[in-house]
């Protein structure tokens, strides 16, 4: 077992009496003086309970529970807390530090309780009478066991044998004046609680299995069962437990509690439920067997059993009526705060007041116990250290005393011993650890501006307070952490959905910023990197106050961007804060006439100082890594004197990974879309020629998102000698594969037509070119023609319709007729015999050419078809070519409610006729 004193303390001077070194807690005569207890152990032992615990960490909690249950079972609730604290320290020394098993023995006597803790690793010889005892190095984590015994126990001692060492302590029961523990005022008879002529109190004893083992006569009278009928039956068979929403305690759980009071019902022999008020007390017999004694009265007679409400007190552990109060409530006050921040803030305020300090602070350990994070402070210059983190292990400028109490009489002699207090003017400080089951969970400190204010006595008082609130703080911290993690999961799920819902780069950048501000940070900036050779580029800036965005953007544009380091995790970037502070300083100096004058100084001071305040806190950079390449950085910032908490940084790291993939996907999509659109535009005619005496209009729609060219195509181009070629075709299929054949057909038509070949010859050679594509070839329907405007205002057309929907001719009188005959399509047969037909368009006539995407437009089982197209065209008499094409497209779109699934092309040509002057 490791023992020791807080630095500056004095070891006790145990002297053996009858072979037993012991100590008595009395008022010291001088500095460090302790008296020897020469009283013999003559008290009669009335009960005992023993248990052994293995050398594992969880044994400490088990030993505490054993002692607590034992003393509460004996009815010694007044000394339970002190006994549990002492047992916890002694068992921790045995099973954790000494690494041996521990034997705990509880002895009950008339005047108190004696608890013995023995281990099997005596690290010292039996001390000689009168010799000083070295209780261990003050730098070791353990060592408070004997000091606590000296502070809390009425008597204590240490016994040694060659194989065992035993530490014992005696806790005396407080004096209880009979009849004065609680007292009420004298009341008139008419104000007394109402009860039957005879008050019956049912006494029911429940064994450890929950079954009834004793049932008195009043229980028989109240509920109608004889003892023989209920003995051995579970109480749950009779209890009608109220199911209160949000309350998980049931009758089985209530029977396991050391004390419980409340209302429920008992089903009587007549089948009716009798409401009762119950008081449960869990006890243990001399053989160590636990059971629960239940006292039951009718619910309207609850005043017989109900415990009066305790009076809260923040100054002592004893209420005005002599009752002991909860030590946690003594320190924190009642009611305790519901949230963690409120609990921590009240803790530091009470700690400061308890030791009459000038400031106090509380740090909580991270999950891996390697760092401490500032969570609450009072009396310090500002809250700039909130969520700041420092390592736990010893070293320059670190909290070397985090795992044990420490007293610093003058911080100027040990600069950097408590980094939180650097530059605050505090001189003396006492710090103590917060531990739960031997695990470091935090550190509590109180500081004063004067040196030499604190000693071991204050450290012990603060440690006792820390031990009482450690479990509540850890429970609240775990609850907050669980809520934060649940919120983080919801946040990441929503962020993933939003990021996955867009492939636009700019929108992705905006989403990244909007998701971080203000949820994770006060402001953020996103840098992007185009390629490995490019420098980071500031792409997006956002602040929760829109008026500060321009100032931050201007500030960041003047400093070098952060290095694109691929190492995961957040790293601190100090350049923005330093640059902001320097800019604010220059502006302030100029405003005071200490620097170079600037125009309109007053208007420039505000934005500069506001920007400095906005970015003056902690700034971190997270890399955006996608496909093993850094594509940018996500920069998060806090305003002046604020830090990020570790959980927020971990959440931001998760978000940065998702955002990096979304940003890279948007980049790839944008690049591929730009390439696709550039290639598709090369397949379309550059522009329609201006043909004298003929109006030409084209409407083209490619099916599929992002497609500008599909399987349908058109072309109108000059050939020679006033002749123009026109074509409209449809390649089998849609999308890029069909567009490849589209490009082949359109360019081949132009080349062959300009060679002076006739229409049939042009199509026959195009058919051979398509067949030469082999597996990539696709059949093609094509309407090709040559047009020559005539002097009389008409136009002569020579047309070849190779498997394509027939062109329709609209005359001035409103009649519509086909303008060609059908012939074989291209890309199927090698030998084609095609011929051309001549059509003359008189002034006012319209030639309409469409692809099958127009005629095959469907709505359920209905289809527009050739007849429907003809009906629409008959209404276009007198319209221009553009108006005709627009009316046809509008009729096609309105024919069905869903979006078109096939490419569509409409080519309208109209001969307006000669105009007379």
Count of Cβ atoms closer than 10 Å to residue 272 Cβ: 11
Contact present, 92 and 100 (Cβ < 8 Å): no
What pLDDT is recorded for position 12? Answer: 38
Query: Which range, 38-47, 102-111, 363-372, is most confident?
Result: 102-111
What pLDDT is recorded for position 294? Answer: 93
- On the question of pLDDT at 36 being above 70, the answer is no
- DSSP letters for 320-385: TTSPBPPHHHHHH-SSPPSSHHHHHHHHHHHHHHHTT-SEEEEEEE-TTSSEEEEEEEESSS-STT
What pLDDT is recorded for position 607? Answer: 55
Higher pLDDT: 384 or 32? It is 384
Count CA atoms closer than 13 A to 93's CA, side-chain side. Answer: 30
Instruction: Tell me the C-alpha distance between 913 and 917, whole Å.
Output: 13
- On the question of pLDDT at 697 being above 80, the answer is yes
Could you tell me the end-to-end alpha-carbon distance of the chain, in angstroms, rounded to an integer?
122
Higher pLDDT: 871 or 45? It is 871
Higher pLDDT: 775 or 49? It is 49
Count of Cβ atoms closer than 10 Å to residue 192 Cβ: 9
pLDDT digits (tens, 9 = 90+) for 507-542: 888 888 888 888 888 889 999 988 877 888 888 888
Give 857-863 contacts, CB < 8 A, sequence gap 24+.
Answer: 857/892, 857/895, 857/896, 857/900, 858/896, 859/895, 859/896, 859/897, 862/895
Which residues are registered as beta bridge partners of 523?
A: 543, 637
- On the question of pLDDT at 40 being above 50, the answer is no
Instruction: Tell me the C-alpha distance between 699 and 882, whole Å.
Output: 9
User: 580 exposed, middle or buried (CB, 10 Å; 0-12, 13-18, 19+)?
Assistant: buried
Count of Cβ atoms closer than 10 Å to residue 606 Cβ: 12
Tell me the two tokens of residue 481: 């952490």
What pLDDT is recorded for position 911? Answer: 92
- On the question of pLDDT at 400 being above 60, the answer is no
Q: What is the mean pLDDT of residues 47-51?
A: 87
What pLDDT is recorded for position 568? Answer: 81
Higher pLDDT: 388 or 312? It is 388
- On the question of pLDDT at 419 being above 60, the answer is yes
Q: What is the DSSP letter of 318?
A: B
- On the question of pLDDT at 675 being above 80, the answer is no
| Exposed e or buried b per residue across 853-876, where buried means at least 16 C-beta atoms within 10 angstroms of its C-beta | bbbebeeeeeebeeebbbebbeeb
| Closest C-alpha among 795, 821, 792 to residue 696 | 795
For the chain, the C-alpha Rg in angstroms (whole number) is: 46
What pLDDT is recorded for position 37? Answer: 43
3-state secondary structure of 585: helix
Contact present, 378 and 393 (Cβ < 8 Å): no
Instruction: Tell me the C-alpha distance between 839 and 795, whole Å.
Output: 8
**Interacting residues of 186 by C-beta distance below 8 A, sequence separation 6+:** none
Tell me the two tokens of residue 235: 């109480």
Q: For residue 788, what is the enclosing H or E element?
A: strand 780-789
Instruction: Tell me the C-alpha distance between 17 and 40, whole Å.
Output: 9
What pLDDT is recorded for position 146? Answer: 72
Angle at CA of residue 245, ends 244 and 247, nearest 5°? 70
What pLDDT is recorded for position 880? Answer: 93
Q: Is the pTM of this model over 0.75?
A: no
Q: Which stretches within 227-310 are classed as H helix?
A: 227-230, 251-256
pLDDT digits (tens, 9 = 90+) for 54-101: 888 778 888 888 888 888 778 787 788 888 888 888 888 887 777 788
Instruction: Tell me the C-alpha distance between 589 and 60, whole Å.
Output: 62
- On the question of pLDDT at 23 being above 50, the answer is no
- On the question of pLDDT at 130 being above 80, the answer is no
- On the question of pLDDT at 342 being above 60, the answer is yes
What pLDDT is recorded for position 602? Answer: 38
What pLDDT is recorded for position 139? Answer: 42
| Closest C-alpha among 113, 58, 61 to residue 82 | 113
pLDDT band at 828 (very low <50, low <70, confident <90, very high): confident
Q: What is the mean pLDDT of residues 392-418?
A: 69
What pLDDT is recorded for position 710? Answer: 64
Percent of the chain with pLDDT strictly greater than 90: 19
What pLDDT is recorded for position 354? Answer: 84
Cis previous bond, 173, omega within 30:
no
Cis previous bond, 86, omega within 30:
no
Query: Which range, 197-201, 307-311, 353-357, 834-838, is most confident?
Result: 834-838
Q: What is the mean pLDDT of residues 772-783?
A: 81
- On the question of pLDDT at 133 being above 60, the answer is no
Q: Which stretches within 592-645 are classed as H helix?
A: 601-615
Higher pLDDT: 136 or 903? It is 903
Task: Tell me the CA distances in angstroms from 898 to 701, 858, 860, 895, 901, one per residue in order.
Answer: 15, 9, 10, 9, 9
Task: Tell me the CA distances in angstroms from 882 to 362, 497, 698, 876, 879, one per residue in order.
Answer: 79, 44, 8, 11, 8
Instruction: Tell me the C-alpha distance between 856 and 259, whole Å.
Output: 84
Report the chain's mean pLDDT, rounded to a whole number: 78
What pLDDT is recorded for position 123? Answer: 52
């Amino acid at each position: 077992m490791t023992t020791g004193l807080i630095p500056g303390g004095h070891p006790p001077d145990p002297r053996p009496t009858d072979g037993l070194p012991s100590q008595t807690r009395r008022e010291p005569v001088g500095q460090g003086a302790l008296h020897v207890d020469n009283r013999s152990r003559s008290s009669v032992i009335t009960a005992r309970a023993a248990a052994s615990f293995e050398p594992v960490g969880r044994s400490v909690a088990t030993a505490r529970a054993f002692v607590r249950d034992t003393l509460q079972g004996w009815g010694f609730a007044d000394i339970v807390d002190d006994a549990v604290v002492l047992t916890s320290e002694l068992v921790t020394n045995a099973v954790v530090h000494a690494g041996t098993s521990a034997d705990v023995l509880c002895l009950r006597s008339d005047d108190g309780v004696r608890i013995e803790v023995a281990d099997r690793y005596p690290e010292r010889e039996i001390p000689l009478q009168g010799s000083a005892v070295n209780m261990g190095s003050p730098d070791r984590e353990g060592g408070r066991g004997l000091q606590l015994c000296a502070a809390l126990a009425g008597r204590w001692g240490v016994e040694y044998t060659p194989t065992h060492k035993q530490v014992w302590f005696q806790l005396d029961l407080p004096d209880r004046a009979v009849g004065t523990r609680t007292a009420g005022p004298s009341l008139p008879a008419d104000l007394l609680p109402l009860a039957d002529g005879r008050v019956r109190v049912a006494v029911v004893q429940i064994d450890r299995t929950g079954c009834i083992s004793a049932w008195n006569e009043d229980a028989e009278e109240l509920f109608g069962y004889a003892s023989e009928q209920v003995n051995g039956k579970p109480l749950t068979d009779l209890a009608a437990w109220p199911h209160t929403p949000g309350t998980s305690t049931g009758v089985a759980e209530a029977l396991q509690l050391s004390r419980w009071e409340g209302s429920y019902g008992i089903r009587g022999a007549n089948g009716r439920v009798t409401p009762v008020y119950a008081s449960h007390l869990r006890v243990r017999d001399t053989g160590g067997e636990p059971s629960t004694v239940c006292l039951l009265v009718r619910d309207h007679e609850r005043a017989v059993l109900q415990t009066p409400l305790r009076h809260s007190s923040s100054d002592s552990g004893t209420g005005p009526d002599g009752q002991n109060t909860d030590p946690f409530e003594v320190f924190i006050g009642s009611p305790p705060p519901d949230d963690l921040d409120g609990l921590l803030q009240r803790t530091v305020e009470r700690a400061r007041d308890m030791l009459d300090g000038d400031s106090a602070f509380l740090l909580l350990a991270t999950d891996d116990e390697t760092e401490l994070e500032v969570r609450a402070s009072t009396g310090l210059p500002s809250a700039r250290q909130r969520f700041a983190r420092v390592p736990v292990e010893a070293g320059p400028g670190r909290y070397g005393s985090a795992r044990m109490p420490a007293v610093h009489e003058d911080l100027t002699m040990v600069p950097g011993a408590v980094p939180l207090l650097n530059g605050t003017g505090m001189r003396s400080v006492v710090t103590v650890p917060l531990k739960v089951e031997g695990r470091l969970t935090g550190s509590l400190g109180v500081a004063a501006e004067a040196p030499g204010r604190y000693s071991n006595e204050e450290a012990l008082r603060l440690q006792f307070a820390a031990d009482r609130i450690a479990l509540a703080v850890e429970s609240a911290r775990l609850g907050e952490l669980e809520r934060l993690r649940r919120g983080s999961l919801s946040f990441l799920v929503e962020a993933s959905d939003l990021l996955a819902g867009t492939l636009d780069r700019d929108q992705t950048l905006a989403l990244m910023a909007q998701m971080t501000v203000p949820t994770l940070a006060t402001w953020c900036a996103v840098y992007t990197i185009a390629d490995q050779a490019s420098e980071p580029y500031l792409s997006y800036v956002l602040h929760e106050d829109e008026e500060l965005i321009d100032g931050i953007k201007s500030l960041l544009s003047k400093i070098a961007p952060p290095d694109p380091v691929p190492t995961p995790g957040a790293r601190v970037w100090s350049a923005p804060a330093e640059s902001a502070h320097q800019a604010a300083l220059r502006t302030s100096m100029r405003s005071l006439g200490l620097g170079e004058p600037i125009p309109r100084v007053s208007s420039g001071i505000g934005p500069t100082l506001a920007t400095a305040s906005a970015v003056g806190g902690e700034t971190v950079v997270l890399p955006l890594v996608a496909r093993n390449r850094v594509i940018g950085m996500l920069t998060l910032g806090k305003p002046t004197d604020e830090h990020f908490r570790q959980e927020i940084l971990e959440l931001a790291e998760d978000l940065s990974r998702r955002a990096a993939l979304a940003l890279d996907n948007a980049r790839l999509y944008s690049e591929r879309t730009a390439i696709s659109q550039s290639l598709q535009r090369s397949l379309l005619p550059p522009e329609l020629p201006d043909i004298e005496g003929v109006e030409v209009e084209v409407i083209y729609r490619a099916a599929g998102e992002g497609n500008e060219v599909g399987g349908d195509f058109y072309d109108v181009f000059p050939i020679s000698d006033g002749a123009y070629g026109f074509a409209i075709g449809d390649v089998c299929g849609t999308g890029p594969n069909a567009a490849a054949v589209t490009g082949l057909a359109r360019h081949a038509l132009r080349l062959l037509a300009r060679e002076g070949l006739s229409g049939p010859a042009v199509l026959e050679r195009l058919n051979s070119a398509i067949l030469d594509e082999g597996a990539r070839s696709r059949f093609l329907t094509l309407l090709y023609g040559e047009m020559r405007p005539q002097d009389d205002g008409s136009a002569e057309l020579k047309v070849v319709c190779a498997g394509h929907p027939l062109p329709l001719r609209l005359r001035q009188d409103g009649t519509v007729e086909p303008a060609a005959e059908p012939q074989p399509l291209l890309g199927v047969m090698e030998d084609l015999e095609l011929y051309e037909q001549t059509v003359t368009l008189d002034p006012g006539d319209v030639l309409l050419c469409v692809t099958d995407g127009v005629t095959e437009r469907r709505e359920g089982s209905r289809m527009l078809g050739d007849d429907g197209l003809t009906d629409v065209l008959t209404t276009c008499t007198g319209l221009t070519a553009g108006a005709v094409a627009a009316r046809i497209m509008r009729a096609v779109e309105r024919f069905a409610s869903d979006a078109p699934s096939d490419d569509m092309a409409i080519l309208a040509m109209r001969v307006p006729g000669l105009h007379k002057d």
